[in-house]
Chain A
């Protein structure tokens, strides 16, 4: 970090615009992946990453581990870990971008500063969606965790929390729920959908996971929504639900999905449709501007349809791709599935990827289950291509299945192995036969 230099430059002439060859707005997965991809090729060009947060870049999916006290912030830091090993990347924290002037290749910062760029990447990510119809959402003790700062506040509140209510049954809220359970807090999961993880699988596919969640101590209420949050001077004391019932709690966590952070692009001329519209090379509609991660609209490689996701793997891959394009190595992005998730709840690992919501659709579906495993493999209507998979309990060779889906491989001849889950890489060796 060369914050000192930047401050010095600022101090000499506050009004003179700063300049960096590569300006990256957002220091999450996409922004940092891009910065390091650029630095691997361009050893000299200035790279400046601007972050609204006060923390230096960290692995965002790890924040529940701060809530559970299992990790400290320095154990989640990106710098020097994994692929984030490149030097000389300037990180400016507490720096908010308020406008972009793409004609003059400048960005405006909150507080009046400006910064010029040769190439800019919009990697501002997303923010939690907070349902406006719930009364009392601003009450202390109500969280929609997204940042390390949120997790810190949550961890502090957890110290005086006996009961917590999670609104929304998505993956982040489940991970947060487990973090709170670890701290001895009684946790109730309130889900409007008929089942948990409804974004990642059909209700019928979630039976094993639901059982694992209940066995782990989570109380689950499906088909209800929160209506009113009740408070005393110390913050939240309970929540009223749509079925007329009431839950006492000292903490509420909202996990209702996210929305892209695009406010700073008003009047910039950058095309926005739910997120920033990008072409196959991660470029925006204005020159020298790129977008990656949650904020960008890319496409589904199977259907070709526009696709926004809030997936870590997608943000990393698209960020790296954008970085290469910014440095002049023209690289097509391979697109992303809307669903590409792996995790473990209690002792149950699972992976969900590709097209997994099949109710009422004309797909060929094969299910296989045992006491501790559940597999659902989704083929297209012709039955010649794998388009989705839910693997619960046994995720062996999940990556191979992902390759089949992504590459839209003709699986004729290998289908039996896919359905009975005996497929392995050896089946793709030159002279292997498929019987």
Chain B
């Protein structure tokens, strides 16, 4: 089955190190190196965000590529469309910086370059097999799998825990 891979987030594993955000910014820089990226103008920015919630939960937040993507439908310039791999893309040439997408995205994952009036967002790293954020995550909090793969893993874990709880 030709299932696209998705980025899954396991908040229980995230320790808030921000390796994902740095890797994302570097991947979206011109030089694609850390030191090169630091020197670039405009400064490369991450498309993944790590938030913190009480009591001590770190939450990596990245575009969910919504099935019914509100941003794509709301866009007033036709800049947002879904590519063949199911990735929702913002075409910077068509974007006019009206921020309607920002107003309708419930996850808050659409970034803004106010001077250029261009929105930017996760593009799933089209040049890479594994997105930079997933590749950089040292704890396995970010997982790049198909939905069936991921749910099979989740089921295996759950049944193992169940078996252990029953003392088998």
Cβ contact of A351, chosen from B78, B97, B103, B110, cutoff 8 A? B103
Does B107 lie within 8 Å of A400, measured CB to CB?
yes
Residues of A within 8 A of B74 (CB): 312-313, 316
CA distance A78 to B104 in the complex (A): 20
What is the number of residues of chain A that contact chain B, defined by CB distance less than 8 Å?
46
Q: How far is the CB of A118 from chain B (nearest CB, A)?
A: 25
CA distance A82 to B88 in the complex (A): 10
Does A344 lie within 8 Å of B73, measured CB to CB?
no
CA distance A397 to B49 in the complex (A): 12
What is the number of residues of chain B that contact chain A, defined by CB distance less than 8 Å?
40
Does A433 lie within 8 Å of B103, measured CB to CB?
no
Given contacts A84-B78, A320-B73, contact A429 B98 (CB under 8 A): no
Q: How far is the CB of B95 from chain A (nearest CB, A)?
A: 11
Q: Which residues in window 57-113 of A have CB below 8 A to B?
A: 59, 61-62, 65, 75-78, 81-85
Looking at B20-28, B112-120, B143-151, B152-160, the stretch in contact with chain A turns out to be B112-120
* Most A Cβ at <10 Å: residue of B52, B79, B108, B117: B108
Residues of A within 8 A of B65 (CB): none
B102 at the interface (CB under 8 A from A): yes
B94 at the interface (CB under 8 A from A): yes
CA distance A341 to B56 in the complex (A): 35
B residues within 8 Å of A by Cβ? 11, 49, 51-55, 57-59, 61, 70, 72-81, 94, 96-100, 102-108, 110, 112, 114-115, 117
A residues within 8 Å of B by Cβ? 33, 59, 61-62, 65, 75-78, 81-85, 312-313, 316-317, 320, 340-344, 347, 349, 351, 353, 395-400, 402-403, 424-427, 429, 431-435
A sample of 24 inter-chain contacts (CB < 8 A) reads A59-B77, A82-B75, A312-B74, A312-B76, A313-B103, A340-B103, A342-B98, A342-B100, A342-B102, A342-B103, A343-B99, A344-B114, A347-B114, A351-B102, A351-B103, A398-B103, A400-B107, A424-B61, A425-B106, A426-B11, A426-B52, A426-B61, A432-B53, A432-B57
